[in-house]
Amino acid sequence: MTQPVLRPRPLRAIPTVQRARFPLFSKVFSDSWRSLLAWSLGLVAAASLYLPIYPSMGGSAQMQDLIDTLPKELVRSLNYDQIGTGPGYAQATIFGLIAYLLLGIAVISWGAAALGGDEESGQLELTLAHAVTRVQVAVARFAALAVKVLALSLFLGALVLFWNSPAQLDIDAVNLLGTCLLFAGLILLSGTAALLCGAVGGRRVWGVGGGAFVAVLGYVLNALGNQSADLEWLHALSPYNWVFGHNPLSNGADWATVGLLFAASVVLAVATALVVRQRDVGV
């Protein structure tokens, strides 16, 4: 009786697992792309509401007569003394007001949730249970925050450029790019403050409070400095005035200020990484 011949089974191909190259960084975007889209639509709405009416608002003699009747301190506080020109109008209404408010809320919310909110919900402990260091988590969260701020600021610049000719704004493209980078540095400073304060307190509310403090204080110091010559020294303490005090849309950006703002955010990010490395998460 012959023995049956056993034939070896063909080996099955082992499925390969595609891993993201920067999983911590990409996870932030996969979780927050909807809010990024929503804030982008908010910028579209704001730009489409304010910029097309410049010829009938900022550029009209009747509007200038109305502004002349208002108290000078109020006009200077709101930066309405600049709206007689296209660059001044875009700076006063978009970059210095509505976009500053919208993106300030967005970036403070993201910064506060990145570490403080995650620790509060227990997500940060789960993340640290994987093969990642605390410093890697802090760096990835800051990098994602910076990329989102840059993307939204440049998107805002593209919207202003889109309305430049139809709204007769007459804005120089190089000045617009420099203003967008200044604006991004200003907004990122508030977001990184929120990131740091959230890491220190381990709660989202700490981050919201810290980021809002930086954003509001900068605006208030600029407004107070505009009230009288005796208070102009407050401008030196206001990041808002560092950005808009020299009318970058009209005169071009101060590139040293651009570097200073981003360097300040990097310093705060380094402090955040040190805090996260040292503190007891979840306590």
Q: What is the 3-state secondary structure (H, E, C) of the chain?
A: CCCCCCCCCCCCCCCCCCCCCCHHHHHHHHHHHHHHHHHHHHHHHHHHHHHHHHHHCCCCHHHHHHHHHCCHHHHHHCCHHHCCCHHHHHHHHHHHHHHHHHHHHHHHHHHHHHHHHHHHHCHHHHHHCCCCCHHHHHHHHHHHHHHHHHHHHHHHHHHHHHHHCCCCCCCCHHHHHHHHHHHHHHHHHHHHHHHHHHHHHCCHHHHHHHHHHHHHHHHHHHHHHCCCHHHHHHHHHCHHHHHHCCCHHHHCCCHHHHHHHHHHHHHHHHHHHHHHHHCCCCC
Answer yes or no: is pLDDT of 225 > 80.
yes
For residues 96-101, average pLDDT = 94
The tokens 């401008």 sit on which residue?
Answer: 235
Rounded to 10 degrees, what is the CA torsion of 78, 102, 197, 138? -140
Band the pLDDT of 21: cuts 50, 70, 90: low
Band the pLDDT of 125: cuts 50, 70, 90: confident
Answer yes or no: is pLDDT of 245 > 70.
yes
Q: What is the CB-side half-sphere exposure of residue 221 using CA atoms within 13 A?
A: 18
Q: Are 246 and 233 in contact (CB under 8 A)?
A: no
Stated pTM of the model: 0.86
Task: Supply the pLDDT for residue 2.
Answer: 54
Band the pLDDT of 4: cuts 50, 70, 90: low
Answer yes or no: is pLDDT of 6 > 70.
no
Answer yes or no: is pLDDT of 11 > 60.
no
